[in-house]
Every structure is written in structure tokens, then in C-alpha cells.
Amino acid sequence: MLAFTLSLALGLFFNSAHADSLPQKNGADQKTPKVTVSNKDVPDAVRKLAEEQYLSRVALLDKASNHKATSYTLGEPFKIYKFNKESDGNYYYPVLNKKGDVVYVVTISPNPSNSKASKQQNNYSINVSPFLSKI
């Protein structure tokens, strides 16, 4: 019985040692994982519109709801995908307060294409709405 237990323990040890020596899938050459923070999928016009207009719109919402003025930060953009893995076409930015809580959501939507519209017209529209979730 002792010999069986010892052989089982040695077998497990050598099996795990062999597994540790095998190269890992997806990045065997990397010592640390690579994380990309910058989202290059967001068009410059979308990013610029969000950065330029979110504060004034948030201030109007604060004033309308009698909230005390505070400082806000524009979060990282994201998209929403449906079950068929297609995007709804909008870009979403969370607006965070000093505590880091999401208070508002900036939605940037592409305007419908208009053949008569000049190229200098905005290609996107912006909407800011209160974040409805409470924790």
C-alpha cells in the first residue's frame, strides 16, 4: 500500500513538473501579458465630440436636477453588441464623479447619411443621460 501511495505521489509530481515546462499557449515568449488601454476603434471625431461637449451637457443636467456641481471625468469608450455580435453603431462613455461612480452616460450616435449634406456637417450626434443603475 505504501509503495502504491509513493508511486502515485511521484507520478503526480513528475506530471506537474512536465506540465510546468511545456510552453503556454498564446504568448509562450511573453513574460507578462500585454494590455492595450488605447482604443483605436473610436474615430477621432467621436472622441473629440465627447471631450468637447460632455461637461456643458452634464452641467445642464446637474442644474435641472438640483445637484450640487462637482468635477467629472470622462471614462473610456465602449460599444454595445447585440446577440448576433453586431454593434448598435453607438459609442458610449461613462461620466464618473470624484468617487469614481458612474453618474451619467454619454452616447454618441452616427447621423444617418444624407447625400445632400456637406462634408463639414457633423457626422455624429451627442446625448447625455443619467446613469440609471444604483448599487
For the segment 54-96, what is each residue's pLDDT rounded down to a tens digit? 999 999 988 888 888 788 999 999 998 888 888 888 999 999 9
Tell which wins on pLDDT, 111 or 30.
111
Asked if residue 14 has pLDDT above 50, the reply is no
In this prediction, what percent of the chain has a pLDDT beyond 70? 61
Report yes or no: 120 and 89 within 8 Å, Cβ to Cβ: no
**If you average pLDDT over every residue of the chain, what do you get?**
74
Please state, in angstroms and rounded to a whole number, the distance separating the CA atoms of residues 92 and 127.
10
Percent of the chain clearing pLDDT 90 (strictly above)? 33
pTM (global) more than 0.75: no
In the predicted structure, residue 117 carries a pLDDT above the cut 60:
no
Tell me the per-residue pLDDT of 17-28, one tens digit each, with 9 for 90 and over: 444 444 444 444
Distant-in-sequence contacts of 103-111, Cβ < 8 A, 24+ apart: 103/58, 103/72, 103/130, 103/131, 104/54, 104/58, 104/61, 104/72, 104/128, 104/129, 104/130, 104/131, 105/129, 105/130, 105/131, 106/50, 106/54, 106/57, 106/74, 108/46, 108/49, 108/50
Q: What is the pLDDT of residue 134?
A: 61
For residue 104, the model assigns a pLDDT of 92
**How many whole angstroms from its chain centre is CA 33?**
18
* 3-class DSSP assignment, residue 104: strand
CATH fold, domain 44-130, is: prostaphopain b, domain 1 (3.10.500)
- Least confident range of 17-21, 31-35, 40-44: 17-21
Question: What does the domain layout of the chain look like in residue ranges?
Answer: 44-130
Q: Which range has the worst mean pLDDT, 29-38, 43-52, 71-80?
A: 29-38
